[in-house]
Amino acid sequence: MLEFKSLTLHDRAAVQSLLVETGLMGNENVFGTFFIWGEVYKHRACLHEGVLYSLYGGDSNIYGVPRGGDLIAGIKVLMADARARGHRFRLWGMTQEQVAEVERVMPETFRFRLDRDGSDYIYHTSDLISLAGRKFHDKRNHVNRFRRTYDYTYEDITSQNLPDVAHIAKEWISGHNASPVEDLFLEDCAISKAIKYYHELGMQGGLIRIEGQPVAFTLGEAINSDVFLVHFEKALSGYNGLYTAINQEFASRHLAKYKYVNREEDMGIEGLRISKLSYNPAFLLEKYIVNLIGEDASD
């Protein structure tokens, strides 16, 4: 069996180097995602013969797509691991291209089911910066109105203002008491970890103040030289256009060198889906759940 363990900061260099080499652009293809959400999703990993294997959910035993090496060989390793553990084989996060490859080499072996709620929204960075054209008319108006209405400043996130980022996060959480308590607790844990290890994880971010008070932040990290991942973007209520403003301000200052921005999934939350679609994604990076044909496919 593979020896899975929780990732630590000591694993970052080796894991990130391997992930970058794959050229993949999903939000699970960067060390920070594994690290800050590791406790939340009970994520463990194993580096074995140059391949990164992932296991989510503790005893629920759902694997991530192998990273590095030959995909088919990696899947066979995970199938053997599942048999050794006495668990049914389940895998999450396969892309359309990977599905096609697996079906070609191992036909009539797996059942593939689209996880729409877990698929990533990918945007052209140039769109988020310029907000040009008719399709961004409303967003452009939001930003312009925000700039006319509020006495605001933008600043990069540094060690000095990280406490302000934490303050915004706490205020945002407390203002969403209608959301499931467990969901808010889990997100709070992940945000707190990202803030605590901001520099060690190579994060970048920006913060907006209105009349000197911190009211919005965004933070993320590069997946590779072409794609930047936004982990979190939070804005306090009561300020029209604030979300659009922090998005555009940070993108215009720091993301021009990237071709794409990954703004993660919508988790099936209607409001979040509407918001993400309103930014006119270049495409949806679809993720598939994989089961062996003949095994129970329920989650």
Distances (CA, A) of 99 to 56, 164, 197, 283: 20, 43, 35, 17
Give me the domains of the chain, ranges plus CATH numbers.
9-119+286-292 (3.40.630.30), 120-264 (3.40.630.30)
> H/E/C letters for each residue in the chain?
CCCCECCCHHHHHHHHHHHHHHCCCCCCCCHHHHHHHCCCCCCEEEEECCEEEEEECHHHCEEECCECCCHHHHHHHHHHHHHHHCCCCEEEEECHHHHHHHHHHCCCCEEEEECHHHCEEEEEHHHHHHCCCHHHHHHHHHHHHHHHHCCEEEEECCCCCHHHHHHHHHHHHHCCCCCCHHHHHHHHHHHHHHHHCCCCCCCEEEEEEECCEEEEEEEEEECCCCEEEEEEEEECCCCCCHHHHHHHHHHHHHCCCCCEEECCCCCCCHHHHHHHHHCCCCEEECCEEEEECCCCCCC
What are 60-70's pLDDT values in tens digits? 689 999 999 99
Place 178 in a pLDDT band, splitting at 50, 70 and 90: low
Confidence at residue 20, expressed as pLDDT on a 0 to 100 scale: 96
Confidence check: pLDDT of 88 > 60: yes
CA–CA distance, 76 with 79 (Å, rounded to integer): 5
Return the percentage of the chain with pLDDT > 70, whole number: 96
Shortest CA distance to 64 belongs to which of 72, 79, 53? Answer: 53
Confidence check: pLDDT of 296 > 70: no
Residue 151 has phi, psi (to 5 degrees) of: -90, 95
Q: What mean pLDDT is predicted for residues 169-191?
A: 84
Shortest CA distance to 208 belongs to which of 151, 142, 270? Answer: 151
What are 89-143's pLDDT values in tens digits? 999 999 999 999 999 999 999 999 999 999 999 999 999 999 999 999 999 999 9
Confidence at residue 41, expressed as pLDDT on a 0 to 100 scale: 85
Here the tokens at position 259 are 């071709």
Place 50 in a pLDDT band, splitting at 50, 70 and 90: very high
8 Å CB contact between 90 and 63? yes
Place 6 in a pLDDT band, splitting at 50, 70 and 90: very high
CA–CA distance, 218 with 240 (Å, rounded to integer): 17
